[in-house]
Amino acid sequence: MAQYFVIHAENPQPRLVKQAVDILQNGGVIAYPTDSSYALGCALGFKEAQTKIRSIRGVDDSHLFTLMCRNLSELSTYAKVDNAQFRLLKANTPGPYTFILEASREVPRRLLHAKRSTIGLRVPEHAVTQALLEALDAPLLSMTLQLPGDDAPLNIAWEIREQLEHQLDLVIDSSLAQAGETTVVDLTGASPEVIRQGIGTIDVLGI
């Protein structure tokens, strides 16, 4: 049975944030709000939690996780970032974008694209997500909370609990998350390429 925490969207309660991080550090799977709908998340290093997330999503090992990072400094630990990429990232983070970059050696191989050794990373603009990342002191492995057969991600906490209360360890209720997916930008080529248009606008990317 999933626990259910109501955490303030602008001033997250430290006690509840710590309890959520304790769940993550014990291998738990959580549903949490971001600046682009709700996501499923777990801490690095828990293979069973990763398997559970893939089971909830109805996807196989070819569907990759995103690393949710608190800032560019942390992102740069897990990805190889050159000067041009850094300027683009700095101008557009935090925000509803996922950037595909060449992974560093800090990323476990099982999380990488099988043929390209790349990883998707993002820096979210949501106070609760940022509080979790700060308290965890590490990235979150995440996937958008979209169930098999659904046309859009879930973004209402009590509906998530109703549907997944026996599969999750925690649902965080922090008011409505913004509906929609991130805009995905591949930065591994000669020039940036938009792979998926989401709620993050393309105009500001300068591409």
Give Cβ neighbours of residue 99 (< 8 Å, ≥ 6 apart).
Answer: 89, 120, 121, 122, 184, 185, 186, 187
pLDDT digits (tens, 9 = 90+) for 159-204: 999 999 999 999 999 976 666 789 999 999 888 899 888 888 877 6
Q: Which residue type sits at 69?
A: C
Tokens of 161: 């609990």
Give the predicted TM-score (pTM) of the model.
Answer: 0.92
Sort strands 97-102 and 118-122 into parallel, antiparallel or unpaired.
antiparallel
DSSP 63-109: SPPEEE-SSHHHHHHHB---HHHHHHHHHH-SSSEEEEEEB-TTS-G
Q: What are phi and psi of 133, to 5 degrees?
A: -65, -40
C-beta separation of 27 from 46 below 8 A? yes
C-beta separation of 164 from 56 below 8 A? yes
pLDDT digits (tens, 9 = 90+) for 79-103: 999 999 999 999 999 999 999 999 9
Other CB atoms closer than 10 Å to residue 58's CB: what's the count? 12
CATH number of residue 133's parent domain: 3.90.870.10
Q: In the chain, how many domains are there?
A: 1
Question: Looking at residue 202, what is its pLDDT?
Answer: 78
- Strand order from edge to edge, sheet including 118-122: 3-6, 170-173, 30-33, 38-43, 140-144, 66-68, 118-122, 97-102, 183-186, 193-196
CA distance 97 to 2: 29
Q: What residues make up the domain containing 113?
A: 3-205
Asked whether residue 46 carries a pLDDT value surpassing 90, the answer given is yes
pLDDT band at 39 (very low <50, low <70, confident <90, very high): very high
Residue 133: strand, helix, or coil: helix
Tokens of 205: 């990317």
CA distance 92 to 57: 28
DSSP 5-34: EE--SSS--HHHHHHHHHHHHTT--EEEE-
